[in-house]
């Protein structure tokens, strides 16, 4: 039985808030961690100028967040325990009613879909607190909860808001995440629980990405019928071939409305590394906030072209480049640390 009275909204639709988990765990980070809370502070300042920001933590990390963010308007710190700070993956996925309020809508407001969590296939124990985060946020909001009973991270899915879902099979059809489910069975779960009509499967992953290929590093919707896709022209970069394959796949894909996808390539930094370890530096890990798009940049020649391309994709929104050379040492960027709560 699916969530037929609801739909999965696109990120560019109005938000009620953005949720962020305060960083306090070094597990995924290379190098110095002490600069990471300062990065979060700066980013939350930028985000709070666009919409309310809800910051979760407990104990000493909560006290640190409250101290760092003291006096910042539009920010609320909330006591919810966490293991890690990648809230895109641990937080709930929100659905909104199909019918606008006051026009025959039978349902209430948004509902929270709370997936199972095992730290990207068991990579970073313990994860007991993060396994409860989505339900804790839903409880704080007083929302109804849907529990599909399979492992899925929020960074693994991408939607146009019109019934199309992009998914990388590598991080969903995975024996370390969902050992007893076939791809066909998992697609049915996605269709039913996220109320989508078409699932477009891609592959590939970026070197250094410990999520096994989250879609929010590889391909993103920027409008119905239109995606931006990561490209790597450097033939010496290990990402070159798999990204080229995905580009070809996306160019032949059809969405839920029967449209052939328009695909706009965005070059990502070649062989971006810290201490000789390649990292998943991708401009596609942007975050669409109310009135703005926060774009990760990495201090190289791909920054300006990526910003220009995304500016053309989001007319009327302010484009905010955010230096993520520190954050990407944790193997993610802006989309990975944010969870949008739709206004619904």
The whole-angstrom separation of Cα 171 and Cα 161 is 22
Instruction: Output the six-digit token pair for 86.
Output: 């990648």
Q: Check residue 339 and report its DSSP letter.
A: E
35 is catalytic: no
Report the C-alpha gap between 303 and 268 in whole angstroms: 8
Pairwise CA distance, residues 174 & 170, whole Å: 6
Are 151 and 118 in contact, with CB atoms under 8 Å apart?
yes
Q: Catalytic: which of 50, 77, 313, 336? A: 336
Pairing of strands 93-97, 111-113: antiparallel
Residue 25: name the closest of 89, 82, 88 by CA: 82
Q: In what order do the strands lie in the sheet with 292-297?
A: 287-289, 292-297, 318-323
Residue 37, token pair as written in the block: 């809370």
Q: How far apart are CA 161 and CA 281, in angstroms?
A: 26
Tally DSSP H helices, then E strands, for the chain: 8, 19
Query: What torsion do the CA atoms of 42, 43, 44, 48 make, to the nearest 10 degrees?
Result: 110
CA angle 80, 86, 88 (to 5 degrees): 95
Catalytic residues, by residue number, are: 336
């Amino acid at each position: 039985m699916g969530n037929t009275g609801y739909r999965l909204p696109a990120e560019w639709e109005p938000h009620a808030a953005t949720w962020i988990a305060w960083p306090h765990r070094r597990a995924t980070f290379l190098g110095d961690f002490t600069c990471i809370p300062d990065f979060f502070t700066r980013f939350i300042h930028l985000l709070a100028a666009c919409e309310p920001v809800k910051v979760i933590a407990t104990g000493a990390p909560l006290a640190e967040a409250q101290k760092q963010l003291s006096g910042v308007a539009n920010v609320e710190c909330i006591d919810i325990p966490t293991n890690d700070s990648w809230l895109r993956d641990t937080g709930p996925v929100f659905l909104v009613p199909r019918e606008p309020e006051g026009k025959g809508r039978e349902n209430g407001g948004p509902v929270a879909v709370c997936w199972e969590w095992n730290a990207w296939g068991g990579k970073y124990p313990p994860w007991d607190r993060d396994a409860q985060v989505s339900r804790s946020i839903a409880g704080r909001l007083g929302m109804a909860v849907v529990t599909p009973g399979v492992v899925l991270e929020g960074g693994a899915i991408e939607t146009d808001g019109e019934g199309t879902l992009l998914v990388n099979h590598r991080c969903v059809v995975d024996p370390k995440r969902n050992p007893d489910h076939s791809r066909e069975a998992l697609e049915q779960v996605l269709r039913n629980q996220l109320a989508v009509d078409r699932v477009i499967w891609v592959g590939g992953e970026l070197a250094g990405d410990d999520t096994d290929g989250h879609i929010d590093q590889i391909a993103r919707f920027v409008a119905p019928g239109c995606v931006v896709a990561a490209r790597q022209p450097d033939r010496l970069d290990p990402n070159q071939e798999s990204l080229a394959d995905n580009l070809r796949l996306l160019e032949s894909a059809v969405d839920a409305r029967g449209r052939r996808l328009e695909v706009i390539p965005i070059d990502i930094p070649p062989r971006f590394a810290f201490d000789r370890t390649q990292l998943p530096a991708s401009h596609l890990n942007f975050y669409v906030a109310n009135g703005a798009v926060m774009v990760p940049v990495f201090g190289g020649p791909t920054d300006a072209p990526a910003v220009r391309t995304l500016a053309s994709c989001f007319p009327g929104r302010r484009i905010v480049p955010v230096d993520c050379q520190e954050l990407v040492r944790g193997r993610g960027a802006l989309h990975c640390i944010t969870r949008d709560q739709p206004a619904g």
